[in-house]
Structure 1
Amino acid sequence: MLAVLGCGMRNLFPCIISLCLIILFLGCAKKQPKIYEKKVDFLCSECKIKEGEGGDKAEKSYIEELPEKSQDLQNYRKNPVIFEYEALKDSLNVRTYEEMFDKAFIFYSQGNIEIAARIFDVLANNSPNEEYREISLFNLAMSLERLGKDDEAEKIYSELLKSSNYDIRSDSLLRLSRIKISRGEKFEVDINSFLDEKRKMFAYALSFFQKTENIINSLIKREIDFANLENHYKIQDQDLSSVKAEVKKIQNEIKSINQRKISDEAKTIVSISEANLSFIFAILEKNYPIDAIRRKVKYILEAQKKYMDVVRNGEPWWITAAVFKLGETYRYLFEDLAISPPPHELKDEEEIEVYRQELLKELEKALKYASQIYEKNINFAERVKLKTFWVKRSSEELEKVKSYIEKIKEITGSSQIQ
């Protein structure tokens, strides 16, 4: 029986472990995000925060001097709070609306997002004209995104879709699309509504990510019932012809867009979409015979390498997405192999049980890697003061992975991995 195990899983799974990219991840998690551009731009690059640096040291003293907040951020539509506006001007040592606006950007770039959000909120309530109001609201929404308040940011972006300013309207649509797509919501964007090529290509890139995410979620969304693994064995293979046709179409579309000039963030989105395609190819491979497993391993390693490319070069928001996806490949590997039927060569129930326990012990290593990756994602987000949907999902999946590990220990009676 162990001979069967040796020629099958023991030769392949260590290959995955030895070639895994967790060490690269641990090193690249220290990479700093790009400087936030001090203008309203659809890329809206997140700020760069270097450890030990905080910009103008004099700015730190302003935070302690700010008066208590007199209104909730959700009340930005209400009448201007003149007293708070004047109080902020005094605390920030500024004389004009424009100077206060500049201070908000400084706080944002230093990672003081809550302070920046509060100032943008007050600026929106006291703007001298509609254009300034909309710009302040847009930047308030960006700040709320970074604080993990996507629902509040979504409301503001939705309101700004009515703006007569093309830049504000278009950028709000792209930011709103990113929020909804990351949640897995169906959200169609009329790409022809964008008049410039830059935003149009960005919208195309988002559509690739949405399509690949939808395919992945449709293929691997499941929970494992360890007490009834045989029920998983009996699940009939679904018809994958339509999935393969969709994947081929996306591949051709990505190939076409890669030949055009696109923004850095759009390139990042295309890269993570290409990683998703490699992940999909791995999912589509069966776990038997041995050649199929080799192809599955090959595609998983390809996907992990591409996710790591995003970690090295992407925006912080997309870094958290790529790291989450990296962890997902290990979690998938566990779930997929754990519910696979035992090798055909094994007929005796006792042999099958021994095989199952040995397999779970090996697969626990994949869960350990997934756990480490999710924890790194959470820590990275805390370090750059960024709360995204992907960080939230990392926390949720971390708990799920921990429950799997405990269940494996319960089944195998093991207290640690040898």
Structure 2
Amino acid sequence: MFLPEEDAWMFCRRPDIPETQVIYDYVGQLAEQPSKDALDALFNMLWHRNGGSNYEVCTVLDKLTQMSDYKVRGLQIINRCFYTIGNPWQLDKDRHGALHEMIVRIKETPLEKGQSQTVRLMRELMREYASSEFYKVLKMQQHFLEIDASVHQQAFGSHIKDYFFIHITAGTTPDLPNSLKSSFKKQQDRKLTQLQKSLQAFDASYGKTGKKHAPNPTRLVDTELRHALFDYSPNRKNGKSYYVQANQFRAASPNFSTMGEFKAAIYELVLAPLLEANAQYGKSQFSQQMWNVMSDAQADRLPVNNTSINTLFWRLLNFLICHDLQKPGGVYLYKLVHDVGYQVVTGMLLNAVLACQMARYSLEKCFARLFHRNEETPSQRIMWLVNAFEHMNVALALNSRVAGYSV
């Protein structure tokens, strides 16, 4: 995600190795030039080992490609180059077209290997970058800025602005220092607060005689949103709210002496909404597979600990949301929402997150992977997935404090 002006300056002053500051200074200077000249010079550097009159740039690129871990470092350096230009340009709408061109040109690395070792390895790095998570996240910035909206507005990726819970996991890359993630946290909090207020206004005004209700802030139909607001509300009466169930689980947590006991309790809690909707799932192949995914004979004997809890939730939520981490298609998510409905499935996931805040990070990562997998697909072709995201967005907004968000 592009950084605001005050943090952007710091971002290009945090070199991976001291010598790379030469590259970031050079790219920073390019950002001040006319867009076409800047992009031509940038790709000349990355494709042709050409730093113009700055020969130090070429020397640093030579040194980079001679390192044993040049692939790891190289992808991060390339990524930072694009953001060093993108951070200031995103503040200037006249540059947004050039930003889109930059993102497109990344895929146009020359097929020729190049005459020198540095050129050959830099082109290999650029091709690898174009198929990496770094590039997926960079492309997504177009949706935040609404660049080239005529092309992207029908794509699922254009919804990223609305889904506050994946803003950080889907919109940032691992090379971003934690100290700079506060900017994205503020943006996430603003979106969450805005959604909470809109949901409250809609709920308070819906059905009032003689009054037009407040706008529906989601893509769900009005009646479906009303049912969702009732079902996910922490103030739901009759003691069945997910908030109350989570409190009961947390109160019992100190009594679990081993991870095996903790696992069994989580299994029952997460499965409960599904069994209430369809008791046949109790002895189904799905519930057995879910148990097997959660099982770890060695970890089960250990005392309850954060490392094992994180691993447990990662396995469980990846199974429920992505199914296959390499090709996250949401197989079980798709089957479940069509069999028992969105509210039941969202309730299962909400039980996990509210019972243990650490589960939220696994949930966000899984939804982010599913989002990246489908971001270029037209929304109308995957409305089941759009609705699943909308339900999760509403459920987390209503229970944000218990889920670990700050607002």
TM-score, with structure 1 as normaliser:
0.27
TM-score, with structure 2 as normaliser:
0.27
